[in-house]
């Protein structure tokens, strides 16, 4: 009997290890998943902040995800300064090559904004299956260096300052500040992550944490404002006939257009935008990015100067040791067990294990 239960254990492990794993960050009513809900107050402010971070850890059989929320100075552009100005940097040129003659170092940061985890609370977008695609919205720009610059208008010095960030570029050390998501898998497989690229023109990075280089991904989903006609006519309630537009064309009800990975890639290629801008960068994107994962390698997902909305993920492990690889002695009268490990007879209906093989008894 002991050997039989060991066999069942092996079979169940094999089934679990090769099954697709799914995590949903916000349910269909717009409520945060328990891991996020447990670390926020009624206004979405993180209650687990340490060293300027709020870390939410999600684990499945094969995936460990760290969602890391960050913060920025509470106010660097109003009358009340939350930074202390340091040395002047009159020759400072940013990463784009733009000069900032009134740049300064930040000597100290006196007040930080709250770190937040919130549901986007929108009824749209809705995917092609009618599912509402909620996302978790985090906070913090993942900058690598913070400076500031005085606001000078027509030569007039205001005495107030705004943030001047140096943002991440592939090849740099990871930012480890601001909002990012770090995925690590126990086994090789394919990862599909639901995201909201809030700023369509911003770089959405997926970076190998060990090599510091970009990882190729494909994107599919929806671009804000892009719709197509259905076959359902829009009826004028006064005439009972189909409405027509200003050009006399019949009007049909519309739905959001789903763009395939090939369509997104083509639109991006035509735009000439930076490599990591999804679609053509003209409007926000929501949908899925898909990429290959190697066991033990960390993959960091973030935007350089904004925040990525996160809706969850699906991970599909590569085929490994399965039921057929488990050594068994097959006999016609072998004992039958249900998925709870309880012995049942041949009349039992449902999912069972016999001879180490999962099957349905009808």
The answer to whether the predicted template modeling score (pTM) of the entire model surpasses 0.85 is no
Mean pLDDT of 129-145: 87
- Give yes or no for residue 49 having a pLDDT over 70: yes
Q: What is the pLDDT of residue 176?
A: 82
Residue 104 exposed, middle or buried by CB count within 10 Å (0-12, 13-18, 19+) = buried
> Hey, which of 99-103, 104-108, 144-148, 336-340 has the most confident mean pLDDT?
99-103
Instruction: For 249-299, write each residue's pLDDT tens digit.
Output: 999 998 888 999 999 999 999 988 888 999 988 889 999 999 999 999 999
Instruction: Enter the tokens of residue 236.
Output: 């004028």
Domain ranges of the chain: 2-72+112-142+177-325, 73-111+143-176
Residues with Cβ < 8 Å from 289, sequence gap 6 or more?
192, 193, 195, 204, 206, 217, 218, 219, 278, 301
The backbone torsions φ and ψ at residue 7, rounded to the nearest 5 degrees and listed phi first, read -60, -45
* Structural contact between residues 220 and 332, judged by C-beta atoms closer than 8 angstroms: no
Indicate the pLDDT class of residue 356, thresholds 50, 70 and 90.
very low
């Amino acid at each position: 009997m002991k050997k039989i239960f060991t066999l069942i254990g092996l079979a169940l492990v094999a089934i679990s290890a090769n099954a697709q794993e799914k995590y949903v960050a916000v349910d269909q009513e717009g409520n945060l998943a328990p891991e996020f809900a447990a670390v926020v107050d009624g206004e979405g402010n993180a209650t687990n902040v340490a060293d300027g971070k709020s870390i939410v850890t999600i684990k499945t059989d094969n995936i460990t995800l760290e969602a890391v929320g960050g913060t920025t100075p509470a106010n660097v552009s109003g009358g009340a300064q939350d930074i202390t100005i340091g040395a002047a940097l009159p020759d400072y040129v940013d990463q784009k090559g733009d000069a900032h003659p009134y740049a300064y170092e930040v000597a100290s940061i006196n007040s930080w904004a709250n770190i937040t985890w919130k549901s986007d609370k929108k009824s749209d977008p809705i995917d092609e299956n009618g599912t509402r695609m909620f996302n978790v919205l985090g906070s913090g720009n993942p900058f690598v260096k913070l400076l500031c610059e005085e606001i000078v208008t027509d030569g007039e010095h205001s005495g107030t300052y705004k943030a001047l960030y140096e943002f991440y570029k592939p090849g740099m050390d990871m930012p480890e500040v601001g909002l990012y998501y770090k995925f690590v898998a126990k086994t090789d497989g394919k990862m599909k992550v639901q995201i909201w690229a809030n700023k369509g023109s911003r770089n959405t990075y997926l970076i190998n944490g060990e090599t510091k280089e970009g990882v190729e991904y494909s994107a599919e989903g929806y671009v804000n404002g892009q719709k197509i006609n259905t076959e359902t006519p829009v009826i004028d309630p006064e005439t009972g006939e189909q409405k027509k537009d200003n050009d006399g064309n019949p009007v049909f009800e519309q739905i959001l257009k789903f763009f395939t990975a090939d369509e997104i890639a083509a639109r991006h290629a035509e735009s000439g935008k930076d490599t990591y801008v999804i679609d053509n960068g003209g409007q926000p994107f929501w949908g899925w990015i898909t990429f290959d994962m190697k066991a033990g390698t960390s993959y960091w997902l973030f935007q350089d100067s904004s925040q990525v909305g996160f809706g969850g993920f699906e991970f599909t492990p590569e085929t490994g040791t399965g039921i057929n690889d488990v050594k068994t002695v097959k006999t016609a009268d072998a004992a039958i067990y249900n998925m709870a490990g309880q012995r049942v007879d041949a009349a039992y209906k449902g999912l069972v294990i016999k001879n180490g093989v999962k099957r349905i008894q009808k």
